[in-house]
């Protein structure tokens, strides 16, 4: 849809691109066609600007920044698919230099099946939780009139934030081999991840006219369900790996 003002910098526009910031004037709501045909293909085969800017925004104003991105302020942000794939690659690379493997850290029964599958399907395993997260957020915040694909974008960026948080833990796995210390750090990282999810969701929906108490409760319950879903998905994958891929 056309606009008389640029959604990114609010300048007056006359042509197909804003003369001030360069963003297209035809930004629109996310739809299935736009998600698959444009963003997926573009995200896989192109690199956008704004990698460091997007990471900074994810840890200074995550909900506000991604809401602005979804609503049309996109020129400064890194594409969600590209960011997701790059962060997966970095995490996977760093894991290769860990001084302690996941079986030692978590126990063979908990992760042996998952690690077997992860050797060949690492990207798929990380992505598989995101559609379920989006369902939870969509159901809890239907009154915001955000569609499912927009919630999928939100959760893609939220997963990117989680990957960055866990990258910190992967670095600790390289420089430290004391299991008791690493387990303590892991608990801190897990707690920070829960707080981050709550903060992200709360910020995103803070402008959609929910009463503060309702917004806090919805964001908290939504966060808890996402964590439980993540645990369920990982546990299911671990069991499948042990049953069929050992």
pLDDT in tens, the chain (246 residues): 455 777 677 777 666 667 667 666 666 666 776 666 666 656 555 544 578 889 999 999 999 999 999 998 888 888 888 899 899 889 888 888 877 766 566 655 555 555 555 555 555 667 888 999 999 999 999 999 999 999 999 999 999 999 999 999 889 988 888 888 888 998 999 999 999 999 999 999 999 989 999 999 999 999 999 999 888 877 776 667 666 655
Structure tokens at 206: 């803070």
The dihedral formed by the CA atoms of 125, 126, 128 and 130, expressed in degrees to the nearest 10 = 170
Structure tokens at 211: 């009463």
User: Which residues are within 8 A (CB) of 170 and not within 5 positions of it... i.e. 6 or more apart?
Assistant: 91, 94, 95, 98
User: Which residues are within 8 A (CB) of 38 and not within 5 positions of it... i.e. 6 or more apart?
Assistant: none
DSSP letter (8 states) at residue 39: I
Nearest C-alpha neighbor of 160 from the set 135, 193, 189: 193
The 3-state DSSP composition of the chain as helix, strand, coil percent (nearest 5) reads: 70, 0, 25
Query: Cα separation of 196 and 11, whole Å?
Result: 33
The Cβ of residue 80 has, within 10 Å, a number of other Cβ atoms equal to 24
Predicted local confidence at residue 244, as pLDDT = 63
Predicted local confidence at residue 123, as pLDDT = 58
Predicted local confidence at residue 52, as pLDDT = 85
Predicted local confidence at residue 1, as pLDDT = 46
Predicted local confidence at residue 37, as pLDDT = 60
Question: Within 13 Å and on the Cβ side, how many CA atoms surround 11?
Answer: 14
Query: Cα separation of 4 and 8, whole Å?
Result: 12
């Amino acid at each position: 849809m056309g606009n008389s003002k640029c959604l990114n910098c609010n300048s007056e526009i006359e042509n197909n691109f804003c003369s001030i910031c360069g963003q297209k004037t035809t930004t629109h709501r996310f739809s299935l066609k736009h998600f698959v045909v444009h963003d997926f293909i573009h995200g896989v085969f192109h690199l956008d600007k704004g990698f460091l800017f997007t990471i900074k925004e994810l840890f200074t104003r995550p909900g506000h920044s991604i809401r602005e991105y979804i609503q049309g302020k996109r020129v400064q942000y890194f594409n969600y698919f590209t960011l997701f794939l790059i962060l997966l690659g970095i995490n996977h690379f760093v894991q290769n230099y860990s001084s302690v493997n996941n079986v030692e850290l978590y126990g063979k029964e908990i992760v042996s099946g998952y690690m077997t599958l992860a050797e060949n399907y690492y990207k798929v395993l990380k992505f598989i939780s995101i559609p379920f997260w989006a369902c939870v957020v969509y159901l809890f915040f239907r009154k915001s009139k955000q569609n499912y694909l927009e919630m999928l974008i939100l959760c893609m960026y939220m997963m990117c934030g989680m990957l960055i948080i866990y990258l910190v833990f992967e670095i600790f796995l390289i420089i430290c081999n004391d299991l008791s210390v690493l387990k303590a750090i892991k608990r801190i990282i897990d707690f920070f991840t829960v707080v981050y999810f709550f903060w992200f969701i709360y910020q995103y929906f803070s402008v959609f006219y929910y009463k503060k108490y309702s917004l806090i409760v919805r964001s908290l319950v939504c966060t808890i369900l996402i964590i439980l879903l993540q645990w369920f998905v990982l546990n299911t994958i671990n069991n499948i790996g042990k049953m069929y891929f050992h």
